């Protein structure tokens, strides 16, 4: 978490309990999106890609704008500093010119602590990614196993249609975890913070 960015949707996030509620609410919405997309897939088959893009875009919105940790759209969003540990992308010249006219130049200088992670933050990031990639790895391996079974004509235990549908569901849920889980782990585990 970073100083000065303790609010999401107007709700203070200094308390661990508030961040855990945010994580649970975000995953409830994403699970609902996955479930409705899967139902649409069952009803309409593979011809409709719009529901899948809704789930992926919903995961991107949660990962970038709500949780943070990911860099997107030229800025830093969410509760967690970007994991990349790189300075923000420069603004287009016209935006800089307008900002120079509205603000003193000293206010336009990017504060390095806003984007650079210290040793503790890097260790926290690495630990969260390690935990997240174990879960994502299980999802990828399960996806591969289901794909091999679904496309193997000798497999007779479960129908091909059921296997392909389960494959779609597991792949969809794994893609959601790829985009959100490291940040969610950090938000879930960070202790309460000072309000000042």
What are the pLDDT digits (tens) for 167-191? 888 988 999 999 899 999 999 999 8
Confidence grade of residue 103 (pLDDT, cut at 50, 70, 90): very low
For residue 11, give the 3-state DSSP assignment: strand
Q: Evaluate if residue 5 carries a pLDDT over 50.
A: yes
Q: List Cα–Cα distances, 103 to 4, 54, 76, 78, 187, in angstroms.
A: 19, 38, 20, 24, 33
Mean pLDDT, residues 37-63: 79
Q: Evaluate if residue 84 carries a pLDDT over 70.
A: yes
Confidence grade of residue 46 (pLDDT, cut at 50, 70, 90): low
At 52 the pLDDT is 77
| 82-91, 150-159, 181-190: least confidently modelled range | 82-91
Between CA 67 and CA 169 the distance in angstroms is 24
Q: Regarding predicted confidence, which is higher, 176 or 121?
A: 176
Between CA 126 and CA 65 the distance in angstroms is 21
Chain center to CA of 32: 16
Between CA 55 and CA 172 the distance in angstroms is 8
Partners of residue 8 on adjacent β-strands: 11
Q: Which of 128, 88, 123, 122 is nearest to 108 (CA)?
A: 88
| 21-30, 67-76, 148-157: least confidently modelled range | 67-76
In whole numbers, what is the pLDDT of the chain averaged over residues? 79
The position carrying tokens 């849920």 is: 173
Q: Which of 68, 72, 59 is nearest to 19 (CA)?
A: 68
For residues 184 and 67, the answer to whether their CB atoms sit within 8 Å is yes
Q: Which of 140, 144, 146 is nearest to 174 (CA)?
A: 140
At 105 the pLDDT is 46
At 80 the pLDDT is 84
- Locate 195 and state its tokens: 């309000």
Q: Evaluate if residue 129 carries a pLDDT over 50.
A: yes
């Amino acid at each position: 978490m970073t100083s000065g960015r303790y609010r999401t949707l107007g709700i203070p996030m200094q308390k661990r309990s508030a961040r855990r509620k945010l994580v649970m609410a975000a995953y409830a919405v994403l699970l609902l999106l996955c479930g409705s997309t899967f139902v649409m897939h069952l009803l309409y088959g593979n011809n409709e890609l719009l529901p899948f893009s809704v789930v992926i875009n919903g995961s991107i919105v949660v990962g970038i704008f709500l949780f943070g940790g990911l860099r997107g759209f030229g800025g830093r969003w969410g509760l967690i500093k970007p994991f990349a540990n790189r300075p923000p992308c420069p603004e287009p010249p016209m935006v800089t010119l307008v900002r120079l006219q509205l603000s003193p130049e000293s206010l336009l200088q990017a504060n390095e602590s806003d984007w650079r992670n210290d040793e503790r933050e890097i260790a926290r990031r690495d630990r969260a990614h390690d935990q997240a990639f174990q879960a994502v790895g299980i999802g990828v391996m399960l996806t591969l196993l289901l794909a091999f079974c679904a496309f193997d004509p000798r497999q007779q235990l479960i129908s091909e249609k059921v296997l392909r549908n389960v494959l779609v569901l597991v792949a969809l849920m794994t893609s959601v975890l790829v985009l959100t889980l490291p940040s969610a782990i950090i938000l879930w585990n960070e202790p309460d913070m000072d309000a000042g």
